[in-house]
Structure 1
Amino acid sequence: MIDKKGILFVLSGPSGVGKGTVRKALFEKATDLQYSISVTTRKPRVGEQDGVDYFFREKEEVEKMIKHGQLLEWAQYVNNYYGTPREYVEKTLQEGKDVFLEIEVQGALQVKENFSEGVFIFLFPPSLEELKNRIVTRGTETEELVKNRLLAAKEEIEMMEAYDYVVVNDEVDHAVEKIQAIVQSEHCKRERVAKEYKKVLESDEK
């Protein structure tokens, strides 16, 4: 019996590329993926549950987690910490479940530094013009902020070399199909399968 370990899949890309939309559409089809639950110091909103939406923790506890390397990545927004707890990810992977993390580029690079065996997918816009249109369509950004986001996006696109796969988000359904194909192919990789069979052979020899 092969005891298969799950795989950590990390989806990221520039702001406005549609990470959240693609992730939601993916989870409507892929029921076997586990969404990575983040830890945060902000207070729960109405209807949010600890251990379901977030792990809600006090500031001192999260700072201790950062100090002891217990977060695969972390960031601070509006005086609140957000991060990906290593223990939750590793426990879920050991249970044989795939973990899916949707995150900004800087966070993904932190994860890669702390968990190199993950599979990193860069979601790419069809064009910078399309990316600009998507940011403007939100209607929440000033002209100056749109300009700054596009400059940041260009810098983030240059970091694409750190990723294993690139998926162009021209249409959400197409992007989802490509990510599903990546998940399947990763489970069929020779190195991954050989590693599990080697464990079985070693156990039989004992």
Structure 2
Amino acid sequence: MRSERGLLIVLSGPSGVGKGTVRKALFEQEDIHLNYSVSATTRKPREGEVNGVDYFFKTREEFEEMIQNNGLLEWAEFVGNYYGTPVEYVEQTLQQGKDVFLEIEVQGALQVKKAFPEGVFIFLAPPSLSELKSRIVGRGTETEEVIQNRLTIAKEEIDMMDAYDYVVENDEVALACERIKAIVTSEHCRRDRVSKYYKQMTEAE
């Protein structure tokens, strides 16, 4: 890597679009060199989720203490639960020249963009709203009221995609992963990220 500081890559999109599924598939690939920043949340774990791997599962009291102590890069309340990104790991990893990958809700992504405008922001989009609803219903974990709330919010979030650098459609998980990898490679080749290194190289000759 030619840049001194790592890239902050933010993946977000509406609830049910498959952010977690795409992230897990992406990190299972051998040629990926990203450091996943685990988010904190007050929602209950879903089946198969592991504390400290998928999320840091917190009580509302614990989460609100993190807010008060400025321990979060971003946070948001979504459908009655808090979600947030612990700041210490992100900063330390970027300073080491390593890339950090965040998988977060749209509200949180917009907060991060204010603090890290140099980040790479990717909006994961569903093929259609009907497909999005099918995925949410297919979880079998939410009531009809929560499903309708998520769909209403999803429509609002899709309207926010103009705030992102890239849009990746999650029609097939494998294809979505390849698109994200292509974006990361492209961002590492951007002139404004690498020119300082090459200028220093020529000046040293």
In which range does the TM-score fall when normalised by the shorter chain?
Answer: 0.7 to 0.9
1:17-166 equivalence runs, <5 A: 17-29=17-29, 30-38=31-39, 66-67=67-68, 69-75=70-76, 82-166=83-167
Alpha carbons 2:37, 2:90 under 8 Å: kept: yes
Following TM superposition, by how much is the alpha carbon of 1:68 offset from its aligned partner in structure 2, in angstroms?
A: 6.0
Report percent identity of matched pairs.
Answer: 69
CA distance 1:13–1:3, shift in 2 (3 Å): closer
Q: Deviations over 1:82-126 (max 9, x none)?
A: 532333212111212111010111111111111111100000000
CA distance in 1, matches of 2:3, 2:51: 31
Normalising by structure 1, we get a TM-score of 0.80
1:151-190 equivalence runs, <5 A: 151-190=152-191
Q: Secondary structure at the match of 1:10?
A: strand
Following TM superposition, by how much is the alpha carbon of 1:141 offset from its aligned partner in structure 2, in angstroms?
A: 2.6
Q: Secondary structure at the match of 2:131?
A: helix
Q: Deviations over 1:128-172 (max 9, x none)?
A: 111111111112233332222111100000110110000000000
Name the structure 1 match of 2:46: none
CA distance in 2, matches of 1:191, 1:81: 36
Name the structure 1 match of 2:7: 7
Normalising by structure 2, we get a TM-score of 0.81
Q: Deviations over 1:180-200 (max 9, x none)?
A: 000100001111111333455
Following TM superposition, by how much is the alpha carbon of 1:58 offset from its aligned partner in structure 2, in angstroms?
A: 9.7
Question: Superposition RMSD on alpha carbons, in Å?
Answer: 3.4
CA distance 1:130–1:81, shift in 2 (3 Å): closer
| Structure 2 gap segments, 5+ residues each | 44-48
Q: Deviations over 1:60-80 (max 9, x none)?
A: 886565346442102458998
Q: Secondary structure at the match of 1:84?
A: strand
Mean alpha-carbon deviation: is it higher for 19-28 or for 132-141? 132-141
Q: Structure 1 counterpart of 2:73, which letter? A: L
Q: Structure 1 counterpart of 2:11, which letter? A: L
CA distance in 2, matches of 1:152, 1:3: 37
Q: Secondary structure at the match of 2:35?
A: strand
Mean alpha-carbon deviation: is it higher for 102-111 or for 86-95? 86-95
Q: Is the radius of gyration larger for structure 1 or structure 2?
A: 1
| Structure 1 gap segments, 5+ residues each | none
